[in-house]
Amino acid sequence: MAVKILHLYPEEMNLYGDKGNVICLKKRLEARNYKVDVINVGMGERIPDFDILFIGGGQDKEMSIVRRDVRRKAEELSYYIHSGKTVLAICGGYQLLGEYYKTASAQVIELSGALPFFTEGAKQRLIGNVVFESPFGKIVGFENHSGKTYIANELCPLGRVISGFGNNGEDSTEGVLYKNTFGTYAHGPVLPKNPMLADEIIKRALQVNELPNIDDELENLCHNSLVSRFT
């Protein structure tokens, strides 16, 4: 049986090569002899069952293009997230999982409400390299968002910011980790830059504690050098 990776809104939500996350997951699975099917899911389509669901980032314009469809998919998204399926959502894709996004020009975009958080746009964008401490090690990425995200107290952030802005530039939180759903502002794409995060996502999707080693010395060298450069 092939591992099923769903890419939600690949046309609209794909900034800074976020699709590289899907390629990275696929390659790391194939290196361990898994067969992988990547399935694109667009507007107006149902979300079929999956092993990993990926949503990339998008500008405000793209978010207003998908907003109605996100509301239609709200129940499905909520169901998958709360039943513990593995999800990775980046920046605008991460914002889609929350209750609403109020743009810097005060336009309110109602979103899925799958998780208890909201995002409000600030005039000054949060831009640059970000490094944060997570339960899986230090994660490095690139962020560029106007939205400041505030997560409810009962939600765990994915990490604590070491350098950069993260969720809002105020409370040192970065992203969200709820059951097996990972939300983060880190573009990059984030997974090729952080192989341990890619493997954590794969382990959760496959429900295994360990994965066979693969030759990823170069990826780890790159990760370490980016972390030390940006901290």
The site for ligand GLN (CB under 6 A) is made up of 15, 57-60, 63, 91-92, 144-147
- Which residues, at least 6 apart from 224, have a Cβ–Cβ distance to it below 8 Å? none
Which one from 24, 91, 145, 223 is the annotated catalytic residue? 91
Q: Phi and psi (nearest 5°) for 145?
A: -145, 150
7 is catalytic: no
- Nearest approach, Cβ of residue 149 and ligand GLN (Å): 8
> Judging by beta carbons within 10 Å of its beta carbon (0-12, 13-18, 19+), is residue 201 exposed, middle or buried?
buried
Residue number closest to ligand GLN, CB atom: 57
- Nearest approach, Cβ of residue 29 and ligand GLN (Å): 25
71 is in an annotated binding site: no
**Of 36 and 171, which has the nearer Cβ to ligand GLN?**
171
Q: Which is nearest to 25 in space by CA: 57, 46, 51? A: 51
- Nearest approach, Cβ of residue 124 and ligand GLN (Å): 11
Distances (CA, A) of 32 to 27, 202, 211, 214: 9, 11, 8, 7
- Which residues, at least 6 apart from 202, have a Cβ–Cβ distance to it below 8 Å? 25, 28, 29, 52, 211
Q: Which is nearest to 174 in space by CA: 223, 219, 222, 141? A: 141
- Nearest approach, Cβ of residue 16 and ligand GLN (Å): 7
91 is catalytic: yes
Q: Which residue ranges make up the annotated binding site for substrate?
A: 125
Q: Which residue ranges make up the annotated binding site?
A: 125
Name the residues annotated as catalytic. 91, 187
